[in-house]
Amino acid sequence: MLEVESINGTSLEETHLLPSYRSDLREFTEKQFNKFVKLNTVNDWSQLTWKDVGKPYAVTSYAKEKLN
């Protein structure tokens, strides 16, 4: 589990939605944390294929403004 220090008296049980990210200072149990965060899911990067991870979507059409 991640350890967090309080900075400027900020409560460690708060969550804030900012314009480009969410600041989440709540504490979770190990079970709750592992439900949403998976670390080290790839053991051998040399064996990883697009089939394993799903190939990213390729954009094949563009807006008229982008073509000019």
**pLDDT tier, 11 (very low <50, low <70, confident <90, very high otherwise):** low
**What pLDDT is stored for residue 22 in this prediction?**
87
How far is C-alpha 61 from the geometric centre of its chain's CA atoms? Answer: 28
Strand partners, 16: 23
User: Assign residue 44 a region: left if phi > 0, alpha if psi is -120 to 50, beta otherwise?
Assistant: beta
Q: What is the pTM of this model?
A: 0.31
In the chain, the DSSP E strands lie at 15-17, 22-24
Retrieve residue 58's tokens.
């390729």
Over residues 13-60, the pLDDT tens digits come to: 788 888 999 888 888 888 888 887 777 677 888 888 888 888 888 878
